[in-house]
A and B are shown apart, each in its own frame.
Chain A
């Protein structure tokens, strides 16, 4: 069975700085999707970024980028120029026919 591990329960960053959230996963499949979802205090799940496993190029969405290492089964999220609004719980998610969630990383952003 697929599993997703987020080893950092909490992280903090100063406004305008860069932070990286770690994620590793386990799968025997070769074709899959990976996502980072953000859950702010409102608890609405928001898709931050997605990566297709067959694409070698790392996905980027504005200040958010990933470092996808397929052989190492690693999928980290880098947030550049952190903003107060980035404070949230971040979930690393593996997708085949259903979503497998990591345990989450709570990100605090300090002014």
Chain B
């Protein structure tokens, strides 16, 4: 099956710093990638959708200047949390989809803790 990886799996950073999370599709070309945020015991909240080579589309209420998304290739998307604050601490999950695979395949998630 299609495999999506995320790196790092856990990251701790200090308030005010930036942190980058990578999402890779390992065995297929991901024309579209999605970034979700999940609070404890809650559902997934879509943050943004990115298509390879174009700007990401952010959901309402998501600060695009804080959560920078880059989808520079068909196998890699990155989420950069800029000037992180403790309230940005969360579990971030990416997913990927190709034109030929209708389902979204999910990465294992990244736990971000901002101290």
- Write the residues of chain A forming the contact surface with B, with a CB cutoff of 8 angstroms: 33, 35, 42-45, 47, 50, 91, 95, 97-99, 101-104, 106
Note all chain A residues with C-beta closer than 8 A to B46: 98-99
A101 touches B44 (CB 8 A): yes
Query: How far is A99 from B95 in the complex, measured between Cα atoms in Å?
Result: 10
Query: How far is A98 from B47 in the complex, measured between Cα atoms in Å?
Result: 11
Is chain B's binding surface mostly helix, strand, loop or mixed?
Answer: strand
Other CB < 8 Å A-B pairs besides A35-B103, A43-B91, 15 of them? A42-B108, A43-B38, A43-B108, A44-B106, A44-B108, A45-B44, A45-B95, A47-B103, A98-B34, A98-B46, A99-B46, A101-B43, A102-B43, A103-B43, A106-B41
Looking at the assembled complex, report how far the CB atom of B36 sits from the nearest CB atom of chain A, in whole angstroms: 9
Number of interface residues of B (CB under 8 A): 18
- Write the residues of chain B forming the contact surface with A, with a CB cutoff of 8 angstroms: 34, 38, 41-44, 46, 49, 91, 93, 95, 102-106, 108-109
How many inter-chain residue pairs (CB < 8 Å) link A and B? Answer: 39
Note all chain A residues with C-beta closer than 8 A to B102: 33, 95
A99 touches B43 (CB 8 A): no
Looking at the assembled complex, report how far the CB atom of A16 sits from the nearest CB atom of chain B, in whole angstroms: 27
Quick one: which of A44, A91, A99 contacts B104, CB cutoff 8 A?
Answer: A99
B43 touches A104 (CB 8 A): yes
Note all chain A residues with C-beta closer than 8 A to B109: 43-44
When C-beta atoms are compared, the residue in chain A nearest to B108 turns out to be A44
Query: How far is A47 from B42 in the complex, measured between Cα atoms in Å?
Result: 18
**A-B contacts, 13 listed (Cβ < 8 Å):** A43-B91, A43-B93, A43-B109, A44-B106, A45-B44, A47-B103, A91-B43, A95-B104, A98-B46, A98-B49, A99-B34, A103-B43, A104-B42
Query: How far is A2 from B103 in the complex, measured between Cα atoms in Å?
Result: 18
Query: How far is A104 from B39 in the complex, measured between Cα atoms in Å?
Result: 13
Looking at the assembled complex, report how far the CB atom of A66 sits from the nearest CB atom of chain B, in whole angstroms: 15
A45 touches B93 (CB 8 A): yes
Query: How far is A42 from B91 in the complex, measured between Cα atoms in Å?
Result: 12
